[in-house]
Chains A and B, each alone.
Chain A
Amino acid sequence: MTQHTHTALNAASSTNPVLSVVSLSKSFGNLQVLDNISISVERGKTVCLLGPSGSGKSTLLRCINWLECPDSGHVLLDGKHIGVTSGGVVMDAHELALIRTRIGMVFQHFALWPHLTVLQNVMEAPVQVQRRRREQVCEEAEQLLRRVGLFDKKDVFPARLSGGQKQRVGIARAMAMKPTLLLFDEPTSALDPELVGEVLAVMRDLAAEGMTMVVVTHEMDFARDAASQVVFIDRGAVVETGSPDAFFNNPVTDRAQQFLMRFAKSLS
């Protein structure tokens, strides 16, 4: 199925949210990181999670595919529970793995598999986990690498790539799973400034094509241009949410205003 057909089908069923996070709470020891937090992501939308360091945005993201286990609350993908079933029973590893194949993740520190070439990295999970045919996966993987501009590096090992190149491979790797939802955990925070642009360009393209994305980022320009919705999180709770226009030009709450002022100051 091509990317465009995928998008058209997505547009047809826009009423039920792809992702529902309901009343998630989590503490690490005495520290309350997530405080009864809820968000919802519609199909084809790009949601940016913004907030100061330590606000819990990364933890929230990692709770979505259950890399962190919340203490209470629910996470639903297309109406199906993740991690804990509706009856409150912890899912077994196999079930959880099955659901995770529908969620793609791009990591702050790339997390590419060092013993595999770029092409092998992109092909590994579709072949090994989704059990798809190798020839078909290879074609699609090469196509994805062309899209992110790294086809000529397909037989290179990750250690030989720049940060920006590694992250673009990471995005191709996530896309190869044909996920329902893509999660980005501060994808450009570990990059040298001049390499940030190439990664954001790929992400903008994906957003424009109607990929459902949840992005934790400090890149305000990206949030302003590419997001459908901005969720401002502080101290584990949603402080303010709205369209990027509304948030950046007319922040309602004090804390949002302070945050944006601090950000504006660091620019000038």
Chain B
Amino acid sequence: MSLADMLTILSATTATLLLSVTGILLGLPIGLGLALVRWARVPLANQFVRACVSLLRATPLVTLVLLLFFALPNAGIAVGPIAAAVIALTLNTSAFNCEIWRAALIDFPKDQLEAAQSVGMRRLTYLHRIVLPQIARSSLPALISEMSQVIKVTPVLAVVGVVEITRAAVRVGAETFEPLPPFLFALAIYLPIIYALLRLQRRFELNAEMPA
């Protein structure tokens, strides 16, 4: 494996990171929104979100991205590989984030709501100033775990032609007939990024266990 090959794989890191970060940044608020719709028991929307989230959590990302990439153009919506990849990734992680946020909302102590109501606080203010800061902190380990999961599924987006780290490594391996070195090199790129997230997750888990 030559230096040029290594640079090829390295340059694909941009694609991986861009896709991952976009998915993460979009998935966090969308997931929260979905969780709030379920928490507020908005009629009809509640059941709809519940079904969609259940479906999305059960669907492999590869199947979802293939569905979007091939089916949307048939319906008249032109999507390129990147668009299909981002939409699929976002839908996928939003569904998981929804469940994480929802678990935190369910566990949230009811007496705080009563305290807020007794001083006449509006529901929106209560959500914004009381609930959100606390559940953000308690959900952090699970949310970070989901972020590392986003990075770990990006290689699959190559099926629609997105060239990320793993696909670049496959190409180099196919050209040089030495598959092992480029794969190990790719691994060496993924490991520190995901490990950093793992360490971050563990730190927040420990913080959560310590008494307030």
A touches B (Cβ under 8 A)? no
The chain B residues found within 8 Å of chain A, CB to CB, are none
